[in-house]
Structure 1
Amino acid sequence: MTSDTVAPAAAASGASATERFFADKASSAAATPTERVDLLAREVLDAVHATIRRHKVTYEEYNALKAWLIGVGQDGEWPLFLDVWVEHVVEQVATESREGSKGSIEGPYYVPGAPEPSAGTTLPMREAEKGTPLLFQGQVRSVSGEPLAGARVEIWHADDDGYYSQFAPGIPEWNLRGSVIADEAGRFRIHTVQPAPYQIPTDGSCGKLIAAAGWHAWRPAHLHMKVSAPGHHLVTTQLYFTGDEHVFDDIASAVKPELILDPRPTGDGAGREVTYDFVLDPA
């Protein structure tokens, strides 16, 4: 762990994620029609009732669930819980008709408005940032093969200790976050460091569920990406690394074979590099 980074408590990380959700996304719920809310709420409750009947749930188990749900709210961990165990299915349904690049979950740690890197295409990072240098490069095209000049490539990821800027103390605000503009041929080059696998917070209510169920808490190392261009659908995805112990054992069930990178050593041996192209569907 870097000397200026303190492990964030689940409650503090959860509070940050909850605050970010209300700032960026909560307003979209108001647009859901009454009929749709009625349908979905009834079916979810029906599924809960069916589970209770099928497995003869006891009052002790019911009260344990009630205590756990209250704890999730007190810890501010609803964004974490939903993004880890539910979002991957929502993403699958939302993008099932697309022909372009595969998407994946956004997760709870996205922050809009990341600056364009001031030093060419090198993400903001601390002096002597831990981790293996990584050159991530590629091209953004339409499904018809046309290069998308000026496409925006947003990238954010955890540091070598598994922590995200703005969600853990002691990390500069925009560390390892940036928004890169592709050139006239749709090409981009991003210099960063390869992230490490990490465990989701385990000292809160989500951790209690993991321990009680005998699960692991690990996510494979990944780069978060949002790629966009006028007239095309935004692609939100995560890119993983071959050889990672948890690439096929992700607690968030977010890995797809098309999203696994295989970086190679750079010519000077000082780091690794990988090329990955994005294909966007027309809007």
Structure 2
Amino acid sequence: MAQTVEEKATAAATGASATERFQVDKTHASDTPPERVSMLARQVLEAVHATIREHQVTYAEYDALKAWLIQVGADGEWPLFLDVFVEHVVEEVANADREGSKGTIEGPFYVPDAPAFSAEATLPMRPDEKGTPMTFHGQVRAVDGTPLGGALVDIWHCDDDGFYAQFAPGIPQWNLRGRVTADENGNFTIHTIQPAPYQIPTDGATGAIIRAANWHAWRPAHLHLKVSADGHQLITTQLYFPGDPHNEDDIAAAVKAELMLDPRPSGDGVDVEYDFVLDPA
């Protein structure tokens, strides 16, 4: 019997894809000065040491930790684990001084160089793509209100089953991914489908710690975006849908009130509007 996408979209396969993408795309990660590496590494280790002393960690617990850390690497899940449990604090610090739109985490499923489209576009999708049709539109402006003509709206999201193209089998390469160039007034319109909530992959090492701690693994439905314009700071963000049961307890702690959409019925689908305000570079 043929396997379903759900049966084949394992944590190991997803983790391997995320690790490969990180190694290809994040080449700037080695530019940190040695003194900064030393300071950060020391403080992280000191926090670990303090936790061990405070909670009287046993050798059995220490060995379990070692085994788990080894398995995270073997499963290729470091991008998944770090993006779910750590990135939201890095993003908070990095964007603390922005005056424009709120950002949030990128997550492990971004792929650069998606197909390019003009200001009104339909994202690539299968002829029988499941889900509620959605029109997403808005304007990109500077903090002083000036429309940013030619701004780039890079969008990606999961399908109605909660899977991302290039991170689960059987999905076309650029499904529900695209780069849309706004018109001369900064306006854009994107036709797609409404994404679904999903569980992060749980059959690997990340899932093991989630089960051991009796946590849940759900992310609320969301759109991913990177919005940029010449002379302005790129913003990486996600937009969420009201009423999702996991808006309040997102496993990745990435939901912010400012990122909530207001869907309106439209024909057989929904219409959502959201404007982006970019800070100067």
Looking at structure 2, the residues matched to 66 and 240 of structure 1 have their Cα atoms a distance apart, in angstroms, of 36
Looking at structure 2, the residues matched to 45 and 231 of structure 1 have their Cα atoms a distance apart, in angstroms, of 39
Looking at structure 2, the residues matched to 119 and 185 of structure 1 have their Cα atoms a distance apart, in angstroms, of 10
One-letter amino acid matched to 2:11? A
SS at match of 1:121: strand
TM-score, length of structure 2 as denominator length: 0.97
Other-structure match for 2:161: 161
Other-structure match for 1:263: 263
Other-structure match for 1:219: 219
Kindly state the Cα deviation for residue 262 of structure 1 after the two structures are TM-superposed: 1.7
Other-structure match for 2:14: 13
Deviation readout 1:96-129 (Å, 9 max, x if unpaired): 0000000000000000000124895000000121
Structure 1 unaligned segments of length 5 or more: list them: none
Aligned residues: 279
1:129-168 aligned within 5 A: 129-168=129-168
Other-structure match for 2:112: 112
Deviation readout 1:188-220 (Å, 9 max, x if unpaired): 000000000000000000000000000000000
1:185 aligns with 2:175: no
Kindly state the Cα deviation for residue 5 of structure 1 after the two structures are TM-superposed: 6.8
Other-structure match for 2:276: 278
One-letter amino acid matched to 1:143? V
1:69-84 aligned within 5 A: 69-84=69-84
SS at match of 2:121: coil
Looking at structure 2, the residues matched to 5 and 15 of structure 1 have their Cα atoms a distance apart, in angstroms, of 17
Kindly state the Cα deviation for residue 28 of structure 1 after the two structures are TM-superposed: 1.6
Looking at structure 2, the residues matched to 185 and 108 of structure 1 have their Cα atoms a distance apart, in angstroms, of 32
Kindly state the Cα deviation for residue 236 of structure 1 after the two structures are TM-superposed: 0.2
Looking at structure 2, the residues matched to 81 and 42 of structure 1 have their Cα atoms a distance apart, in angstroms, of 21
Looking at structure 1, the residues matched to 134 and 29 of structure 2 have their Cα atoms a distance apart, in angstroms, of 38
Looking at structure 2, the residues matched to 84 and 208 of structure 1 have their Cα atoms a distance apart, in angstroms, of 14
Other-structure match for 1:209: 209
Indicate how the Cα distance of structure 1 residues 117 and 126 shifts in structure 2: closer, same or farther if over 3 A, else same.
Answer: farther
SS at match of 1:88: helix
Kindly state the Cα deviation for residue 29 of structure 1 after the two structures are TM-superposed: 2.5
- Aligned residues of 1:117 and 1:124 also touching (Cα < 8 A): no
Kindly state the Cα deviation for residue 31 of structure 1 after the two structures are TM-superposed: 1.1
Indicate how the Cα distance of structure 1 residues 119 and 87 shifts in structure 2: closer, same or farther if over 3 A, else same.
Answer: closer
- Aligned residues of 2:119 and 2:181 also touching (Cα < 8 A): no
Looking at structure 1, the residues matched to 118 and 48 of structure 2 have their Cα atoms a distance apart, in angstroms, of 51
- Aligned residues of 2:159 and 2:196 also touching (Cα < 8 A): yes
| Percent identical | 71
Deviation readout 1:159-195 (Å, 9 max, x if unpaired): 0000000010000000000000000110000000000
- Aligned residues of 1:150 and 1:229 also touching (Cα < 8 A): yes
Other-structure match for 2:235: 235
Kindly state the Cα deviation for residue 43 of structure 1 after the two structures are TM-superposed: 0.2
Structure 2 unaligned segments of length 5 or more: list them: none
One-letter amino acid matched to 1:51? T
Looking at structure 2, the residues matched to 78 and 109 of structure 1 have their Cα atoms a distance apart, in angstroms, of 13
SS at match of 1:261: coil
